[in-house]
Copies of this chain bind each other. A is one copy, B any other.
Amino acid sequence: MTSEVGPTSRVTMATVAEVAGVSVASVSNALNERVGLSPEVRSRILAVADGLGYRRNTLAQELRIGRSRTVGLSVVDLANPFYADLSQGVIKTAGEHAYDVFLSSVGPESESLKEVVDGFMDRRLGGLLFTSLTNADAELLRRLQKLAIPFVKLVRDVQGVVADWVGIDDYSGGVALGEHIAATGRKTVACLGGPSDSNASASRVNGIRVGLARNGINLINESQPNLHGTPTRMSGYDRAMNLLQKDSSIECIIGGNDVIAIGILDACKDKGFSVPEDIAVAGFDNMTFSSAGPLDLTTVDVPREQIGAIGMKFLIERMDGFNGPPRRKFLPFDVAIRSSTSPKNV
Protein backbone atom coordinates (compact mmCIF):
# COMPACT_ATOMS: atom_id res chain seq x y z
CA MET A 1 0.00 0.00 0.00
CA THR A 2 2.88 2.31 0.66
CA SER A 3 4.27 1.80 -2.82
CA GLU A 4 1.15 3.37 -4.33
CA VAL A 5 2.07 5.50 -7.31
CA GLY A 6 0.54 8.84 -6.41
CA PRO A 7 0.62 12.07 -8.36
CA THR A 8 3.53 13.30 -6.25
CA SER A 9 5.74 10.52 -7.45
CA ARG A 10 5.43 11.57 -11.06
CA VAL A 11 8.62 11.16 -12.99
CA THR A 12 10.36 14.43 -13.74
CA MET A 13 13.45 15.33 -15.71
CA ALA A 14 15.42 14.78 -12.53
CA THR A 15 14.22 11.18 -12.41
CA VAL A 16 15.18 10.61 -16.01
CA ALA A 17 18.56 12.26 -15.45
CA GLU A 18 19.31 10.06 -12.48
CA VAL A 19 18.37 6.84 -14.20
CA ALA A 20 20.23 7.77 -17.36
CA GLY A 21 23.23 8.95 -15.38
CA VAL A 22 23.30 12.41 -16.89
CA SER A 23 22.40 15.95 -15.83
CA VAL A 24 18.95 17.49 -16.00
CA ALA A 25 20.28 19.92 -18.58
CA SER A 26 21.19 17.06 -20.88
CA VAL A 27 17.74 15.56 -20.49
CA SER A 28 16.24 18.87 -21.45
CA ASN A 29 18.59 19.21 -24.39
CA ALA A 30 17.81 15.71 -25.59
CA LEU A 31 14.06 16.16 -25.32
CA ASN A 32 14.18 19.49 -27.10
CA GLU A 33 16.37 18.18 -29.88
CA ARG A 34 19.04 20.75 -29.34
CA VAL A 35 22.42 20.25 -30.92
CA GLY A 36 25.56 19.40 -29.05
CA LEU A 37 24.57 16.08 -27.56
CA SER A 38 26.31 12.93 -28.72
CA PRO A 39 23.85 10.75 -30.54
CA GLU A 40 24.46 7.88 -28.14
CA VAL A 41 23.69 9.89 -25.02
CA ARG A 42 20.73 11.44 -26.71
CA SER A 43 19.13 8.17 -27.67
CA ARG A 44 19.89 6.67 -24.27
CA ILE A 45 18.14 9.57 -22.56
CA LEU A 46 15.18 9.27 -24.89
CA ALA A 47 14.95 5.56 -24.23
CA VAL A 48 15.04 6.05 -20.48
CA ALA A 49 12.43 8.82 -20.63
CA ASP A 50 10.21 6.61 -22.70
CA GLY A 51 10.70 3.64 -20.44
CA LEU A 52 9.81 5.67 -17.38
CA GLY A 53 6.76 7.11 -19.10
CA TYR A 54 8.14 10.59 -18.69
CA ARG A 55 5.89 13.47 -19.71
CA ARG A 56 6.98 17.07 -19.69
CA ASN A 57 5.21 19.34 -17.23
CA THR A 58 3.68 22.00 -19.44
CA LEU A 59 3.18 24.38 -16.53
CA ALA A 60 6.87 24.40 -15.69
CA GLN A 61 7.93 24.67 -19.29
CA GLU A 62 5.64 27.56 -20.12
CA LEU A 63 6.45 29.36 -16.90
CA ARG A 64 10.10 29.14 -17.74
CA ILE A 65 10.07 30.06 -21.40
CA GLY A 66 7.32 32.64 -21.06
CA ARG A 67 5.50 31.43 -24.14
CA SER A 68 2.62 29.06 -24.68
CA ARG A 69 1.51 26.88 -27.55
CA THR A 70 -2.05 27.03 -26.31
CA VAL A 71 -4.48 29.58 -27.67
CA GLY A 72 -7.79 30.67 -26.25
CA LEU A 73 -11.00 30.55 -28.26
CA SER A 74 -14.05 32.33 -26.90
CA VAL A 75 -17.41 31.26 -28.20
CA VAL A 76 -20.76 32.81 -27.29
CA ASP A 77 -23.18 30.07 -27.80
CA LEU A 78 -21.86 26.55 -27.80
CA ALA A 79 -25.35 25.30 -28.53
CA ASN A 80 -25.26 27.03 -31.92
CA PRO A 81 -23.72 24.49 -34.30
CA PHE A 82 -22.30 27.37 -36.29
CA TYR A 83 -19.72 27.85 -33.57
CA ALA A 84 -19.11 24.13 -33.25
CA ASP A 85 -18.12 24.02 -36.92
CA LEU A 86 -15.98 27.11 -36.59
CA SER A 87 -14.30 25.61 -33.53
CA GLN A 88 -13.55 22.42 -35.44
CA GLY A 89 -11.73 24.50 -38.01
CA VAL A 90 -9.68 26.20 -35.32
CA ILE A 91 -8.90 22.95 -33.51
CA LYS A 92 -7.90 21.11 -36.65
CA THR A 93 -5.53 23.80 -37.85
CA ALA A 94 -4.11 24.21 -34.35
CA GLY A 95 -3.42 20.49 -34.18
CA GLU A 96 -1.60 20.53 -37.49
CA HIS A 97 0.81 23.07 -36.05
CA ALA A 98 1.16 21.43 -32.63
CA TYR A 99 -0.97 24.03 -30.90
CA ASP A 100 -3.71 23.36 -28.38
CA VAL A 101 -6.97 25.20 -28.00
CA PHE A 102 -8.54 26.31 -24.75
CA LEU A 103 -12.22 26.73 -25.59
CA SER A 104 -14.29 28.96 -23.33
CA SER A 105 -17.95 29.73 -23.47
CA VAL A 106 -19.26 33.22 -22.93
CA GLY A 107 -22.85 33.74 -22.05
CA PRO A 108 -25.56 34.07 -19.46
CA GLU A 109 -24.94 30.51 -18.33
CA SER A 110 -21.20 30.96 -18.10
CA GLU A 111 -18.81 33.85 -17.80
CA SER A 112 -18.61 37.31 -19.29
CA LEU A 113 -16.06 38.00 -21.98
CA LYS A 114 -13.94 39.92 -19.51
CA GLU A 115 -13.81 36.96 -17.15
CA VAL A 116 -12.95 34.63 -19.98
CA VAL A 117 -10.15 36.88 -21.19
CA ASP A 118 -8.83 37.27 -17.65
CA GLY A 119 -8.71 33.49 -17.37
CA PHE A 120 -6.88 33.28 -20.69
CA MET A 121 -4.35 35.87 -19.57
CA ASP A 122 -3.85 34.29 -16.15
CA ARG A 123 -2.84 31.16 -18.01
CA ARG A 124 -0.50 33.19 -20.19
CA LEU A 125 -1.95 31.75 -23.38
CA GLY A 126 -0.05 32.49 -26.55
CA GLY A 127 -2.89 34.09 -28.45
CA LEU A 128 -6.63 34.60 -28.53
CA LEU A 129 -9.48 34.06 -31.00
CA PHE A 130 -12.80 35.85 -30.60
CA THR A 131 -16.04 34.94 -32.28
CA SER A 132 -18.77 37.25 -31.12
CA LEU A 133 -17.51 40.68 -30.36
CA THR A 134 -19.49 43.86 -30.08
CA ASN A 135 -18.30 47.44 -30.12
CA ALA A 136 -18.55 47.37 -26.33
CA ASP A 137 -15.55 45.04 -26.29
CA ALA A 138 -13.23 47.58 -27.90
CA GLU A 139 -11.60 48.57 -24.63
CA LEU A 140 -10.88 44.97 -23.69
CA LEU A 141 -9.19 44.38 -27.02
CA ARG A 142 -7.10 47.50 -26.75
CA ARG A 143 -5.85 46.28 -23.40
CA LEU A 144 -4.64 43.13 -25.15
CA GLN A 145 -2.90 45.19 -27.78
CA LYS A 146 -1.10 47.16 -25.06
CA LEU A 147 0.13 43.91 -23.57
CA ALA A 148 1.18 42.73 -27.04
CA ILE A 149 -1.02 39.65 -26.85
CA PRO A 150 -1.91 38.59 -30.39
CA PHE A 151 -5.55 37.99 -31.24
CA VAL A 152 -7.81 37.52 -34.24
CA LYS A 153 -11.43 38.56 -34.64
CA LEU A 154 -13.72 36.03 -36.31
CA VAL A 155 -17.03 36.68 -38.05
CA ARG A 156 -17.81 39.92 -36.27
CA ASP A 157 -15.58 42.94 -36.39
CA VAL A 158 -15.15 45.78 -33.91
CA GLN A 159 -14.94 49.41 -34.92
CA GLY A 160 -11.82 51.21 -33.87
CA VAL A 161 -9.78 48.12 -33.08
CA VAL A 162 -7.37 47.49 -35.89
CA ALA A 163 -6.45 43.81 -35.86
CA ASP A 164 -6.65 40.68 -37.99
CA TRP A 165 -10.19 39.70 -38.91
CA VAL A 166 -11.66 36.76 -40.84
CA GLY A 167 -15.23 36.44 -42.01
CA ILE A 168 -17.44 37.04 -44.98
CA ASP A 169 -18.92 40.16 -46.50
CA ASP A 170 -22.15 39.99 -44.54
CA TYR A 171 -23.57 42.95 -46.36
CA SER A 172 -23.19 41.29 -49.76
CA GLY A 173 -24.55 38.06 -48.31
CA GLY A 174 -27.61 39.97 -47.20
CA VAL A 175 -28.00 41.57 -50.61
CA ALA A 176 -27.81 38.19 -52.32
CA LEU A 177 -30.36 36.72 -49.95
CA GLY A 178 -32.69 39.69 -50.40
CA GLU A 179 -32.45 39.40 -54.17
CA HIS A 180 -33.26 35.70 -53.96
CA ILE A 181 -36.35 36.33 -51.85
CA ALA A 182 -37.53 38.99 -54.27
CA ALA A 183 -37.03 36.57 -57.14
CA THR A 184 -39.38 34.05 -55.52
CA GLY A 185 -42.18 36.54 -55.99
CA ARG A 186 -42.86 37.45 -52.35
CA LYS A 187 -43.62 41.10 -51.71
CA THR A 188 -44.54 41.24 -48.01
CA VAL A 189 -41.27 40.51 -46.28
CA ALA A 190 -40.07 40.93 -42.70
CA CYS A 191 -36.60 40.52 -41.26
CA LEU A 192 -35.79 39.46 -37.71
CA GLY A 193 -32.12 40.26 -37.35
CA GLY A 194 -29.51 39.61 -34.70
CA PRO A 195 -28.38 42.20 -32.18
CA SER A 196 -27.77 45.68 -33.56
CA ASP A 197 -24.47 45.98 -31.68
CA SER A 198 -23.05 43.12 -33.74
CA ASN A 199 -21.52 44.57 -36.84
CA ALA A 200 -22.23 41.33 -38.72
CA SER A 201 -25.90 41.40 -37.79
CA ALA A 202 -26.21 45.03 -38.77
CA SER A 203 -24.52 44.41 -42.12
CA ARG A 204 -26.73 41.45 -42.84
CA VAL A 205 -29.89 43.43 -42.22
CA ASN A 206 -28.57 46.33 -44.30
CA GLY A 207 -27.77 43.98 -47.15
CA ILE A 208 -31.13 42.25 -47.01
CA ARG A 209 -32.85 45.63 -47.07
CA VAL A 210 -30.91 46.71 -50.13
CA GLY A 211 -31.34 43.41 -51.97
CA LEU A 212 -35.09 43.69 -51.54
CA ALA A 213 -35.21 47.42 -52.30
CA ARG A 214 -33.52 46.85 -55.63
CA ASN A 215 -36.64 44.92 -56.51
CA GLY A 216 -39.03 47.46 -55.13
CA ILE A 217 -39.68 45.70 -51.83
CA ASN A 218 -39.49 47.36 -48.42
CA LEU A 219 -39.25 45.44 -45.17
CA ILE A 220 -42.62 45.60 -43.49
CA ASN A 221 -41.02 45.81 -40.06
CA GLU A 222 -38.44 48.40 -41.08
CA SER A 223 -39.08 50.78 -38.23
CA GLN A 224 -40.19 48.25 -35.65
CA PRO A 225 -37.99 47.36 -32.69
CA ASN A 226 -38.13 43.69 -33.65
CA LEU A 227 -35.86 44.33 -36.64
CA HIS A 228 -32.99 43.49 -34.28
CA GLY A 229 -32.92 41.18 -31.30
CA THR A 230 -31.20 38.35 -29.49
CA PRO A 231 -29.85 35.71 -31.90
CA THR A 232 -31.69 32.87 -30.22
CA ARG A 233 -34.41 30.47 -31.19
CA MET A 234 -36.64 31.81 -28.45
CA SER A 235 -36.24 35.36 -29.67
CA GLY A 236 -36.98 34.29 -33.24
CA TYR A 237 -40.08 32.49 -32.04
CA ASP A 238 -41.38 35.37 -29.95
CA ARG A 239 -40.76 37.98 -32.59
CA ALA A 240 -42.27 35.83 -35.33
CA MET A 241 -45.35 35.05 -33.26
CA ASN A 242 -45.79 38.74 -32.73
CA LEU A 243 -45.51 39.50 -36.42
CA LEU A 244 -47.86 36.70 -37.44
CA GLN A 245 -50.42 37.77 -34.90
CA LYS A 246 -50.57 41.30 -36.21
CA ASP A 247 -50.38 40.59 -39.89
CA SER A 248 -51.30 37.24 -41.39
CA SER A 249 -50.54 38.39 -44.90
CA ILE A 250 -46.77 38.15 -44.45
CA GLU A 251 -45.25 36.13 -47.24
CA CYS A 252 -41.73 35.75 -45.96
CA ILE A 253 -39.70 36.16 -42.77
CA ILE A 254 -35.92 36.24 -42.89
CA GLY A 255 -33.91 35.40 -39.77
CA GLY A 256 -30.61 37.09 -39.04
CA ASN A 257 -29.13 33.66 -38.49
CA ASP A 258 -30.33 30.07 -38.75
CA VAL A 259 -31.09 29.73 -35.07
CA ILE A 260 -33.46 32.67 -35.29
CA ALA A 261 -34.92 31.08 -38.42
CA ILE A 262 -35.61 27.87 -36.49
CA GLY A 263 -37.60 29.93 -34.02
CA ILE A 264 -39.51 31.44 -36.92
CA LEU A 265 -40.27 27.95 -38.21
CA ASP A 266 -41.49 26.96 -34.73
CA ALA A 267 -43.84 29.93 -34.76
CA CYS A 268 -45.14 29.14 -38.24
CA LYS A 269 -45.94 25.65 -37.09
CA ASP A 270 -47.75 26.83 -33.97
CA LYS A 271 -49.72 29.30 -36.05
CA GLY A 272 -50.63 26.65 -38.57
CA PHE A 273 -48.77 28.24 -41.47
CA SER A 274 -47.09 25.77 -43.77
CA VAL A 275 -43.69 26.52 -45.28
CA PRO A 276 -43.19 27.46 -48.08
CA GLU A 277 -46.82 27.35 -49.23
CA ASP A 278 -48.22 29.91 -46.81
CA ILE A 279 -45.00 31.59 -45.87
CA ALA A 280 -41.34 31.43 -46.85
CA VAL A 281 -38.56 31.38 -44.27
CA ALA A 282 -34.83 31.95 -44.68
CA GLY A 283 -31.81 32.14 -42.43
CA PHE A 284 -28.13 33.00 -42.48
CA ASP A 285 -25.09 30.83 -41.58
CA ASN A 286 -25.98 27.42 -42.97
CA MET A 287 -25.49 25.57 -39.74
CA THR A 288 -25.27 21.81 -40.12
CA PHE A 289 -28.86 20.92 -39.49
CA SER A 290 -30.38 23.61 -41.66
CA SER A 291 -30.15 21.16 -44.53
CA ALA A 292 -31.88 18.36 -42.60
CA GLY A 293 -34.58 16.72 -44.70
CA PRO A 294 -37.74 18.31 -43.31
CA LEU A 295 -36.10 21.60 -42.36
CA ASP A 296 -34.50 22.36 -45.69
CA LEU A 297 -33.88 25.97 -44.87
CA THR A 298 -32.73 28.50 -47.43
CA THR A 299 -29.76 30.32 -45.97
CA VAL A 300 -26.44 31.98 -46.71
CA ASP A 301 -23.73 29.38 -46.63
CA VAL A 302 -20.95 30.85 -44.53
CA PRO A 303 -17.66 28.88 -44.68
CA ARG A 304 -17.67 28.25 -40.94
CA GLU A 305 -14.84 25.79 -40.66
CA GLN A 306 -12.67 27.79 -43.01
CA ILE A 307 -13.13 30.95 -40.99
CA GLY A 308 -11.83 29.06 -37.97
CA ALA A 309 -8.97 27.53 -39.90
CA ILE A 310 -7.75 30.76 -41.47
CA GLY A 311 -8.22 32.64 -38.22
CA MET A 312 -6.01 30.14 -36.47
CA LYS A 313 -3.46 30.39 -39.27
CA PHE A 314 -3.36 34.18 -38.90
CA LEU A 315 -2.92 33.83 -35.17
CA ILE A 316 -0.05 31.39 -35.51
CA GLU A 317 1.71 33.79 -37.86
CA ARG A 318 1.34 36.58 -35.30
CA MET A 319 2.63 34.36 -32.52
CA ASP A 320 5.56 33.47 -34.72
CA GLY A 321 6.44 37.14 -34.85
CA PHE A 322 4.76 38.33 -38.03
CA ASN A 323 4.35 42.02 -37.57
CA GLY A 324 2.74 43.20 -40.78
CA PRO A 325 -0.33 45.38 -40.97
CA PRO A 326 -3.65 43.92 -39.80
CA ARG A 327 -5.35 41.75 -42.36
CA ARG A 328 -9.02 41.57 -43.26
CA LYS A 329 -9.87 38.31 -44.97
CA PHE A 330 -13.19 38.06 -46.76
CA LEU A 331 -14.07 34.48 -47.59
CA PRO A 332 -16.44 33.54 -50.41
CA PHE A 333 -20.01 32.57 -49.57
CA ASP A 334 -23.02 31.13 -51.34
CA VAL A 335 -26.75 31.36 -51.05
CA ALA A 336 -28.01 27.85 -50.33
CA ILE A 337 -31.42 27.84 -51.94
CA ARG A 338 -33.69 25.22 -50.42
CA SER A 339 -37.37 24.45 -50.29
CA SER A 340 -38.22 26.80 -47.43
CA THR A 341 -38.32 29.58 -50.03
CA SER A 342 -39.63 27.65 -53.01
CA PRO A 343 -41.86 29.77 -55.24
CA LYS A 344 -45.46 29.89 -54.07
CA ASN A 345 -46.95 28.54 -57.23
CA VAL A 346 -45.01 25.28 -57.10
- A223 located at the interface, meaning its Cβ lies under 8 Å from any Cβ of chain B in the complex: no
CB-CB under 8 A for A102 and B105, given A5-B146, A265-B294: no
Q: Which residue of B7, B288, B294 contacts A148 across the interface (Cβ within 8 Å)?
A: B7
- A41 located at the interface, meaning its Cβ lies under 8 Å from any Cβ of chain B in the complex: no
Would you call B55 and A63 a contact (CB within 8 A)?
no
Find the B residue at minimum CB distance from A305.
B109
- A241 located at the interface, meaning its Cβ lies under 8 Å from any Cβ of chain B in the complex: no
Determine the distance from Cα of A89 to Cα of B148 in the docked complex, in whole angstroms: 34
Determine the distance from Cα of A184 to Cα of B189 in the docked complex, in whole angstroms: 40
Most central of A57, A58, A103, A147 by chain B CB within 10 Å: A103
- A56 located at the interface, meaning its Cβ lies under 8 Å from any Cβ of chain B in the complex: yes
0/1 per residue, A86-123, Cβ < 8 Å to B? 01100110010000111111000111000000110111
Return chain B residues, CB-CB under 8 Å to A91: 78, 105, 109-110
Would you call A7 and B66 a contact (CB within 8 A)?
yes
Would you call A111 and B123 a contact (CB within 8 A)?
no
Determine the distance from Cα of A267 to Cα of B293 in the docked complex, in whole angstroms: 8
- A60 located at the interface, meaning its Cβ lies under 8 Å from any Cβ of chain B in the complex: yes
A113 CB to nearest chain B CB (Å): 14
- A152 located at the interface, meaning its Cβ lies under 8 Å from any Cβ of chain B in the complex: no
How many copies of the chain does the oligomer comprise?
Answer: 2
CB-CB under 8 A for A148 and B4, given A62-B59, A79-B288, A110-B92: yes
Would you call A292 and B122 a contact (CB within 8 A)?
no
Return chain B residues, CB-CB under 8 Å to A149: 7
Can you spell out 13 A-B residue pairs with CB atoms less than 8 angstroms apart?
A5-B146, A7-B66, A7-B148, A55-B118, A55-B122, A58-B122, A59-B59, A91-B105, A91-B109, A91-B110, A262-B289, A269-B293, A289-B289
Given contacts A59-B62, A233-B288, A294-B295, 17 further A-B contacts (CB under 8 A): A7-B147, A7-B149, A55-B121, A57-B122, A58-B123, A59-B63, A59-B123, A59-B124, A78-B87, A79-B85, A91-B110, A92-B110, A102-B103, A103-B103, A269-B293, A275-B294, A289-B289
